[in-house]
Amino acid sequence: MIGQIVGVIVFIGIVAGIVTLTELNRRKTISCAKCKTRFDFETDITYDEVESINDGKSNVAKIEFDCICKQCGANKIFTKKFTIASVDKEGNVKRNNVERNIKKYFS
Ligand SMILES: [Zn+2]
């Protein structure tokens, strides 16, 4: 019984750790490397699709972001993949609103 409880607590700890790391990584990505100012999606960022990857199960867009820091003027360019559409086990196509997901990533 105690062993099970400890196991559950450890599991929750690992999941929470992964979620925290992912979130910290996201915040680092969307902030200036020099002065740590968070980029503002509406004013500091331009983006473009540089590659479209389709493996039959999903259609993924590789987006390149060009960010200019409004505080120090530093430029940061990085790419991130966003799923445009995917096919589930039943063969149904699920489309994602990429623009909304991008905005969410920067919020
Ligand atoms: Zn900066």
How does pLDDT run across 25-82, given as a tens digit for each residue? 999 999 999 999 999 999 999 999 999 999 989 999 999 999 999 999 999 999 999 9
| pTM score, whole prediction | 0.83
Structure-model confidence comparison of residues 100 and 2, the more confident one: 100
Determine the 3-state secondary structure of 29 from DSSP. Answer: helix
From ligand 1's centre to the CA of 52, what distance in Å?
Answer: 30
Q: What is the pLDDT of residue 2?
A: 86
pLDDT for position 1: 82
Report the C-alpha gap between 19 and 91 in whole angstroms. 30
The Å distance, Cα 31 to ligand 1 centre, comes to 8
- Residues ≥6 apart with Cβ < 8 Å to 14: none
CA distances in angstroms from 56 to 50, 81, 88, listed in the order given: 19, 16, 11
pLDDT score recorded for residue 56: 87
Angle in degrees, CA 35, 40, 43, rounded to 5: 115
CA of 70 to the centre of ligand 1 (A): 7
- The encoded tokens of residue 21 equal 């790391």
